[in-house]
Structure 1
Amino acid sequence: MAGLCARADVIVPNLTEAAFLLDRPYCAGGYDEAYIRELLKRLAGLGAPHAVLTGVSFAPNQVGVMGYHAAKDEFFSYFHRRLDVSFHGTGDIFSSTVVGALMRGFSLEEALALAADYTVDCIECTMNSPRHVWYGVEFERAIPWLLERLHE
């Protein structure tokens, strides 16, 4: 898998996936920003010009993404409030939203922020649903929110 990263424009692993890609022990918590920056530089060292980590948290009530532009040697991040629930499919929603936004001309930072916010909105729609099921998020209910932000 690490060999494919050299052919990618952007890689977006979570912390567990990054540990596997870099053949490093998984660090579930207790990390700091310096550790995340080091991971991002190592991920970019696999060959992708842009590396992004999801599920990054430096505060108990926030979670988000942190990224690295290798050519510019610049880091960026976007955080939102942490929801104390977990649903299947949120990674798929996040990544497909990032790709869709990039294809519509959004910058990487804008696409990541939009995807993070849309994923949170999908989770909130599911949490507030009377049909609250455990098979995944009800992303369809949040599509109007996404279309508004995509200016559709």
Structure 2
Amino acid sequence: MKKICCVNDMPGVGKIALSAMIPILSAKGIDVASLPTALVSNTLDFGKFDILDTTDYMEKTVDIWHDLGFRFDCISTGFMVSPKQINIVERLINNQDTDNLLVVVDPIMGDEGKLYNGMTDNNVAIMRKLSSHADILIPNFTEACFLTNRFYSRDTLSQDEADKLIERVRQLGGKSVVITSTSVNGENCVIGYDHTKDENFKIGFELIDVRFPGTGDIFSAVLVSDVLNGESLYDATKHAMETVRIIIIDNLDKKEKFFGVDIERYISEGKL
């Protein structure tokens, strides 16, 4: 059984971050440990929220895990609140002492051309630093733009521009890249680069004009679990896209969208 450490925030209300990823990864046969970067009262979409910084807890926990000899096959990171947390994650990575460690970074900062509520330029700088450690970096288009300072105002890119964006993201230091919520020549798609094959890829999708918090976390959890279970990055990305598409369509009529989707139901039905 593969072991993963998920470094992300834990919400009190809402199926996002650790609340979304832990049940999905567990259902996929992955042994999950969690390192909360913050306790969040509820999803930020509500507009009113409180965030408890858990940096001190993280620092003590990583030291204890090192003393106890805990080791992981994968470290997956999401929401970060301070530069000090990056240093802690770097120490966690270095403590693994293995060449086979998979580091996956989801630089959670924003969407739809803007940063999320409470996010600042400091968060962007934090994510640039963390991205250099990624074996797989998974920004959405907005996050890729903030990371690279390019294409902020663009609704769609040419193929050449898309390739340049991938290259600029790779220059942050990561190996493979998956950029979601992109448009190339008017086609909605996910674009990426697989360093194991040294090739770019593009997978088109039909845009469903609705937003649910946590779909990015679902995408990441499915992708990571597939890669850990031996799938190629392309196949894992395609499966994650299809999973999110099915869930969004199934929840179009849900009124309370800010809570996210009922992940446990999809697990029990064999859809996750």
1:150 aligned partner: none
In the other structure, the counterpart of 1:21 is 147
Are the structure 2 counterparts of residues 71 and 106 from structure 1 closer, same or farther at C-alpha, using a change threshold of 3 Å?
A: closer
Q: Is 1:84 aligned to residue 222 of structure 2?
A: no
Aligned amino acid, residue 120 of structure 1: R
Query: Which has the larger strand fraction?
Result: 2
Question: C-alpha distance in 1, partners of 2:185/2:157?
Answer: 11
1:2-29 deviation per Cα after TM superposition (whole angstroms, max 9, x unaligned): 1222211010101111111113351341
- Rounded to whole Å, the distance in 1 between the matches of 2:158 and 2:240 is 24
- Residues in 1 aligned to 2:266 and 2:162: alpha-carbon distance in whole angstroms: 31
Shift, 1:36, TM fit:
1.0
Q: Distance in 1 between matches of 2:270 and 2:168?
A: 36
Count of equivalent residues = 144
- TM-score normalised over the length of structure 2: 0.48
1:100-139 equivalent positions in 2, closer than 5 A: 100-127=225-252, 132-135=255-258, 136-139=260-263
| Aligned twin of 2:188 | 63
Cα distance change of structure 1 residues 123 and 71 upon mapping to structure 2, 3 Å threshold:
closer
The yes-or-no answer on 1:41 pairing with 2:167 is yes
Does the C-alpha gap of structure 1 residues 111 and 37 become closer, same or farther in structure 2, counting only changes over 3 Å? same
State the Cα distance separating 1:73 from its structure 2 match. 4.1
How many angstroms does 1:59 deviate by?
Answer: 6.2
Structure showing greater radius of gyration is 2
Q: Which moved more, 1:93-102 or 1:65-74?
A: 65-74
2:219 maps to 1:94: yes
Equivalent residue letter for 1:51: V
Partner SS state of residue 18, structure 1: helix
Q: How far apart, CA to CA, are the structure 2 residues paired with 1:45 and 1:94?
A: 24
Q: Which runs of 5+ in 1 are unaligned?
A: 148-152
Contact 1:123 1:138 in 2 (8 A): no
Mapped to 2, the partners of 1:41 and 1:11 lie a distance apart of: 12
- Tell me the alpha carbon deviations over residues 88-107 of structure 1, each in whole angstroms, 9 at most, x when there is no partner: 11111111111111111111
Deviation per residue, 1:85-141 (Å, 9 max, x gap): 22211111111111111111111111100100000111011125xx54222233444
Q: Which has the higher contact order (CA 8 A, sep 6+)?
A: 2
Change (3 A) 1:71 1:104: closer
For 1:117, give the aligned amino acid: E
Measure the CA separation in 1 of the matches of 2:131 and 2:193. 14
| Contact 1:76 1:109 (C-alpha < 8 Å) held by counterparts | yes
In 2, distance between residues paired with 1:15 and 1:71? 23
RMSD: 2.2
Contact 1:122 1:138 in 2 (8 A): no
